[in-house]
Structure 1
Amino acid sequence: MSLLPTDLRELYAFILICETGSMTAAAQRMNVTQSAVSQLIRQLETDLEVTLFDRDCRPMAVTPAGERLRQAASELIKQAEQLPDLVRGNTHKPLSSIRLGFVDSFASALGAELINALENRAHSVSAWSGLTPSLTESLTQRQVDLIVTTDPMEDQEDYESIYLFRDPFVLVLPPDTELHRAPADLHSLAKQLPLIRYSARSTIGQQVARHLRRLEVNAPIRYEFDATFPLLKMVQAGLGWAISTPLCLLGGNVEKDGFYVVPLPGPPLFRSFQVSSRRGRLGKLPETVAEIVPSLLRSHHLSRLTQMAPWLSTRDFDLPVG
């Protein structure tokens, strides 16, 4: 029995099981029950008259026939996803819609300007914001088309990521302190004031926590937030210090004279921003975003950032020359 276009769902379920290693994970990605995925695979095996998985192994192993199908099916799925562009006949024509996802700090600082710059690229644009892990999941589940986050998605073969810029971590100190004149090292600072953290649910919070562990800095958890605004308000109130980034401060919506921004003592720490999308799905749009974002940062916001921290330069953000 030959496969019909309606059988692409079966192929997609098969590919997801191969990628995730389990029917449960594949079902979560497809937003269906595990039994529904199992039925799709049984039907696919019936259609092809082959066994695709060795179910006696734990975890299930792909059979030689399944391996051959995986190679062919991946290409079929990719071609099916490119059909909209082929039907339109011109990838430069405006898309009917673009669904964007921005990590919160990017959304607050640059999101509106990027959407405005993409105005002629689609008839409608919608945007979500949130933490990096949830946005990556939204992209893989096809709830959004393109995301700007700090996740390079290196383990996702069907997705491409283009580097945008890096965001250096800085030390944020309360106003009523002399520490900004000659900042102590992080060990001494942690003994004097509590560290006000980004939540461990966030990628930025996890990155800072790893950095402190490497340096063996003992900063017990006392206050933590998902967003920059309440974190900065706590610093302004003199309740502690924080490790943040210029982009977070830019979108934090807090008066800049309410805290001091100084270089992070010790080894430098950065987070890198990427634009990620399903490979070949959006034409030149990801490359366009990769050109627009550094330009916006340089022309609209670098002067604001240097007012907040005069020692910052384009070199700190690894912006392309232009």
Structure 2
Amino acid sequence: MNDLLVLDRAATAAALDPHHLMAAVADALTAVARGQASAPPRIAASAPGGLLGAMPGYVPGLGLAAKLVSVFADPARPGRSTHRGIVALFDTCDGRPLAVMDAEPVTAWRTAAAATHSALALARPGPVVVVGTGAQARAQVSLLAALRPAEPVTVAGRDRTAVHATAALHPAGRAADGIEAAVREAATVYCCTGATRPVLRRDWLAPGTHLSSVGGSHGPELDAATIREAALFAEWLGAAGTPPPSGAHELQGLPQGRGVTLLGSVLAGDAPGRHSPDLLTVFKSTGHAALDVAAAHVVHGVATGRLTVTDGPPH
């Protein structure tokens, strides 16, 4: 395995070109929706302080990869967790390992890309708010800065210092005075928190608001009223059909007849998205191995020169 490429966190992050990533993630979401991707339900081994999850996947045209990621409580930041691990990319013809890369930027950026696609496909025009100040929120703000630097983004959270630091990642970023006030004015809300209970309420949301909820691994990030009244979208049907941590806390036990539309079906034009200006829409992300494959494809391509960086690394 002399040709095995090993990339640390900085090298992995530098190779996550935002424009190639958005294109690859769109292809992966579409492949999932059309049944073209191979990705068995994730499994996890539990340890006293957390868990180790395994997520293998194959996406035609993008590759074959597997992620091993540990999710542990962070004693330095009560209420938050760390996500550390590796992603291994393999040759799809002979199975040779091609690259091993840091899973943290891969996970954060592919998740941000999926959330951004949901907003581009489903949201109405208007103010954008990011709730959260952790690694996922920072990736979300940074990706929005790389893709649409002139469009303002408001950051809201509990820690004022962290809110200002996260907002500074965007050239048109601003720090909100509070979560509720910011959300009430928003057309799009990206929820990127380590919540164990809802961080916003249905009555804060204006008609037609779009929510991209990518946090809440340990509990519901959105309240039951929001889920009850919204049109629901996800990366895969297992977000509602399997229990956490594979599925979403918010989507468990949906009433009979409540459907979840796959975001990839909307992107491909196979299913409708927003059908009314006042429709409340929710994209609930649980992550999917196909998205890791997409990000690994981009990292390997950029690192080896097979993909050309479009506008330079955004971070």
TM norm structure 1: 0.29
Question: Which has the larger helix fraction?
Answer: 1
Structure of greater relative contact order (alpha carbons < 8 Å, 6+ residues apart): 2
Higher alpha-carbon Rg: 1
Q: TM-score, normalised by structure 2?
A: 0.29
Higher strand share: 2
